[in-house]
Amino acid sequence: NFGFAGTLLDTLKKHHNTCPVMLSSSAQASLTGRFGNSEYGRSKKAGEDLFLQYGKDTGAKVLVYRFPNLYGKWCRPNYNSAVATFCNNIANDLPIQVNDPRVELELLYIDDLVDEMIHALKGEEYRCEFEGLDVHPLVDGRYCYCPVTHKVTLGEIVDLLHQFAEMPKTLMIPEIPADSFAKRLYSTYLSYLPKEKAIFDLKMNVDQRGSFTELVHTLNCGQVSINISKPGVTKGEHWHNTKWEQFIVVSGHGLIQLRKEGT
């Protein structure tokens, strides 16, 4: 990190090239918390110092990012991302090992990183100062940062992934609100899912009246199902204290009626 940074900056100086330069540093450069004794962090910090001094000496624009743990679709498993390894192994029915589910990670999704890189190319980067691992936004800060990250424990990650993996059995659509970590993790998980596991059979409940098949369930909004009724058949004949149902007739003709209980 230090050696290449020096070579790059010396070459720019030699050719009087003051183009903007960006350093992909790491949260480990904070040298605090669990990174307090990190040789990798010290090498990143030394590279940062070179870049910041170069900016002072030449007036060139310097962008130093301390990236947290990066994850996302198609990341290489069994390398340097626990999320990639967990996604790959759970999607492919392989074992995983979690030594301490309480360990919290700050995670940066690949799409959010790309968004910030595009901002940086346009001169619209987000700037800050760091206090340990904490980001303090500051318009004229020495450092840059990605504004969208998520803090989540290893246990929470694994629990979500197991919910995703169980979906063909439970038909339960995971809760993935907009801009949530769960939505990003679900997209990541799907990139590791073998195509044959993306196809699964549904249980079709058949009797003399026709059939009833549940398609998907949601935690808060009920379910979606297909009901096939033979001509002249009456189904239902039951009631709910509180329920809202929407019937969409996609083939044939159906008559839907309500009657007062007891009549």
Q: Which of 58, 184, 48 is nearest to 110 (CA)?
A: 184
Please say which residue of 136, 171, 194 terminates a domain.
194
Higher pLDDT, 152 or 236: 152
pLDDT recorded at residue 260: 87
Q: Mark whether 139 and 257 lie in a shared domain.
A: no
Predicted model pTM: 0.85
- The CATH code of the domain that includes 172 is 3.40.50.720
Residues 127 and 142 in one domain: yes
Do 220 and 184 lie in a common domain?
A: no
40: annotated active-site residue: yes
Considering its fold, how many domains does the chain have in total? 2
Q: Phi and psi at residue 210, in whole multiples of 5°?
A: 145, -130
Question: What pairing do the DSSP bridges indicate for beta strands 62-67 and 21-26?
Answer: parallel
pLDDT, residue 220, reads 87
CB neighbour list of residue 12: distance below 8 Å, 6 or more residues apart: 18, 19, 21, 54, 58, 60
Distance of alpha carbon 182 from alpha carbon 179, whole angstroms = 9
Query: Are the CB atoms for 153 and 101 separated by under 8 Å?
Result: yes
Q: What is residue 202's DSSP assignment?
A: -
Mean pLDDT score of the chain, rounded to an integer? Answer: 94
Residue 100: CB atoms within 10 A of its CB come to 8
Listed residues 143, 162, 194: the one ending a domain: 194
What is the pLDDT at residue 37?
Answer: 86
Interacting residues of 127 by C-beta distance below 8 A, sequence separation 6+: 137, 138, 139, 140, 141, 142, 143, 144, 145
pLDDT digits (tens, 9 = 90+) for 211-256: 999 999 998 889 999 999 999 999 988 888 888 889 999 999 988 8
Q: Residue 239's pLDDT is what?
A: 87
Residue 215, both tokens: 């398609």
| 46-78: pLDDT as tens digits | 999 999 999 999 999 999 999 999 999 999 999
Confidence tier at 262 by pLDDT (50, 70, 90)? confident
| Same domain as 27, residue 154 | yes
Between CA 180 and CA 198 the distance in angstroms is 23
Distance CA 62, CA 65 (A): 10
Looking at residue 98, the DSSP 8-state letter turns out to be -
92 plus 187 within the same structural domain: yes
Q: Looking at the structure, do residues 72 and 90 belong to the same domain, yes or no?
A: yes
Length of the chain (residues):
263
Pair (87, 171) in one structural domain? yes
One domain for residues 100 and 10: yes
Task: Check whether residue 156 and residue 263 sit in a common domain.
Answer: no
Domain end among 173, 194, 215:
194
Q: What is the pLDDT of residue 34?
A: 82
pLDDT of the residue at 124: 97
What residues does 225 pair with on adjacent strands? 214
Q: Are residues 63 and 150 in the same domain?
A: yes
Domain span at residue 33 reads 2-194
Tell whether 107 and 11 lie within a shared domain: yes
Catalytic residue (choose from 40, 71, 109, 126): 40
Residues 16-50 have pLDDT tens digits of 999 999 999 999 999 988 888 889 999 999 999 99
Same-domain pairing of 224 and 129: no
Supply the pLDDT for residue 35.
Answer: 86
Q: What is the CATH number of the domain that holds 210?
A: 2.60.120.10
